[in-house]
Structure 1
Amino acid sequence: MPEVQRIVFAGTPDFAARPLQQLLDAGVRPVAVYTQPDRPAGRGRQASASPVKQTAVAAGLPVFQPPHFRDQTSLDELQALQPDLMIVVAYGLLLPTAVLTTPRLGCINVHASLLPRWRGAAPIQRALEAGDTESGVTLMQMDAGLDTGPMIAERRLPLPATMTGGELHDALAELGAQLLLETLPDIEQKLAAARPQPDTGVTYAHKLSKQEGQLDWQQSAQALANRVRAFNPWPVCWFEWQGKPVRVWSAQADSAEATRPGTVRRSDERLYIATGDGWLELLQVQPAGKKAMPVADWLRGSGQALQSGEVLT
């Protein structure tokens, strides 16, 4: 079979910029890079280039930013590149069949889970939220479904009990880049041997929302501790006190029998909140308008008024 020479890379966030940079470091230069259009960001809401675009521009690669692939112009641009293969990593746009079939070898995707578990938009956070003890990355051949294509290769990663969403993101970005580089030299043979995903074990990682970050004290302490670490650094868990949100960056579960959910138990330096099953000990918090701090600093400062026996809603 002909050698894979003309590669197109498609991705948007930092999770995708890392494998793109490692491809470049290994001497693999895509003929073009696709990324989402610049979006408003920061306090000034000025248009900001994605991490993938920044990486591509720094390397002198052509960049395409179609808002979608529903028009013929975008499809014609891709076809004119005559790609052998399209590598897709967290691109954020649905690819129609006309795009998937344009490259000679089709499109492959680096997905941040062990498929078929956690198909969808937020596999990193959902794995931690569910208390999974293992995650990893899957390299798959893309089809018209949502992360349903045949699996080419995978790498597994054990999950420490304290790992945050941000830490897992970084670990899987590195693991995905390594897997891609290892597989690319004989990708044609690996594609021919790709295996269908099993029908059992399918779960969906639905998109995150800020509203999900609000802590529900009726849930168990372990479920809340999992959510706190999963949602660090975004969207970050929080609860309301004195009419303002207090963000929770770190917490741990205590299995001791608890009282009414939401009840506060505190000392000078430690803070526990009763849950539906056990106590949640808050370790690092961020009161409104302040920086994140150890809970002891908050209790000695603006959190002094929080008293044992108070019930949070």
Structure 2
Amino acid sequence: MSKTNFIFFGTGEFAVGVLNELKNHGIVPKMIVTKPDAPSGRHLMLTPPAIKVWADENGIEALQAEKLTSIVKKLSTFNADVFLVSDFGKIIPSEILQIPRLGVLITHQSLLPKHRGTSPIQYAILNGDKETGVSIILSDDQIDHGKVLTQDRIELTLTETSKDLENTLSKLGGEMLARLFESLEESIEQAEPQDDSKATFTQKIKKTDGFIESEICLGLSEDEEVNMKAERKVRAYFPTPIAFTILKSKNGKEIRLQILKAIMEQKRFTPTLVRPEGKKEMSFEDFLRGFL
């Protein structure tokens, strides 16, 4: 079923990676549904979602909807076989789930039922998982709960950042969808329910989640497990919201310090690349010499 008529729901860079891989296989959506432009950056300039930029560059109509229920009629006019959802950031209402002939497929960045919810990539890193992957499921009325059509897994090196893992999994997700399109109806019929007894759940990441105690950053903690959790935070929260600590300067002023890179060295947590608030990034050694 390589000529499947579909609409794609997505917002961020993961969705862009999935679409790029689908395009490499000659598969493009009839239309894209995404979020409205939103304030971004230091100056809070109104900025389109990454997927909207991709749609414009590829000559595909992008529908930006604040309320999905307001576009039900328009979506119905496309006679889509299936809707694809990747990194969308909104719950799909039941009125929309019922529109496509074959249903709504979600590309999720974990081996479901593990890491259901909004932050599977970050949680895989935070937990020190040795493997993760992508699941493609048939959406139902619960979050990341539907039947599984297919899963592919990858081993983790325990050095990946969230950005690295997002890039890897988005390409994998696109490849999986391209394969599915060759026998989509059969794959949907053979989809298997998840084992809810093994489900784990993720939470939305907050900026404050990235905080690391100053004692850990200065190498004063001898607790290897605590130090390893801090190192995972740095990787999990890059490029956003970015791990940070609060240190006192020579004159007693508090400095908010973003930690961009760190390593484990002799069982201790060691920042290597940092950025003081309002300053350029620098080595942690240079920061210590100049600020503390």
Assess same fold via TM > 0.5: yes
For residue 135 of structure 1, the aligned residue among 128, 132, 154 is 132
Contact 2:231 2:269 in 1 (8 A): yes
For residue 182 of structure 2, the aligned residue among 180, 185, 191 is 185
Which structure 2 segments of 5+ residues have no match?
Answer: 249-253
Q: How does 1:202-217 map to 2 (within 5 A)?
A: 202-216=199-213, 217=216
Q: Give the share of equivalent positions with the same residue, in percent.
A: 29
Which structure 1 segments of 5+ residues have no match?
Answer: 257-278, 306-313
Query: Of Structure 1 and Structure 2, which has the larger fraction of its residues in helix?
Result: 2
Query: Which residue does 2:251 correspond to in 1?
Result: none
Q: How far is 1:254 from its partner? A: 4.8
Deviation sequence 1:223-251 (CA, Å, 0-9, x none): 11111111111111111112121111222
Could you state the TM-score of these two structures normalised by the residue count of structure 1?
Answer: 0.84
Deviation sequence 1:128-177 (CA, Å, 0-9, x none): 01111111111111111010011111111111121111111111111111
Residue 223 in structure 1 maps to residue 229 in structure 2: yes
Query: Which residue does 1:27 correspond to in 2?
Result: 26
**2:232 partner SS:** helix
Distance 1:248 1:98, change over 3 A: same
Instruction: Give runs of ≥4 in structure 1 deviating > 6 Å.
Output: none
CA RMSD of superposed structures (Å):
1.8
Residue 293 in structure 1 maps to residue 290 in structure 2: no
Q: How far is 1:297 from its partner? A: 2.4
2:237 alignment partner AA: F
For residue 272 of structure 2, the aligned residue among 279, 283, 288 is 283
Residue 112 in structure 1 maps to residue 109 in structure 2: yes
Residue 96 in structure 1 maps to residue 93 in structure 2: yes
Question: In terms of mean alpha carbon deviation, does 124-133 or 44-53 score higher?
Answer: 44-53
For residue 241 of structure 1, the aligned residue among 243, 247, 255 is 247
Contact 2:2 2:182 in 1 (8 A): no
Q: How far is 1:126 from its partner? A: 0.9
Q: Which has the larger radius of gyration?
A: 1
Question: In terms of mean alpha carbon deviation, does 81-90 or 44-53 score higher?
Answer: 44-53
Rounded Cα–Cα distance in structure 2 between residues aligned with 1:208 and 1:134: 21
How many residues are paired up?
278
For residue 153 of structure 1, the aligned residue among 132, 137, 150 is 150
Deviation sequence 1:44-65 (CA, Å, 0-9, x none): 4332221111111222212211
Could you state the TM-score of these two structures normalised by the residue count of structure 2?
Answer: 0.89
Q: How far is 1:104 from its partner? A: 0.1
Contact 1:246 1:287 in 2 (8 A): yes
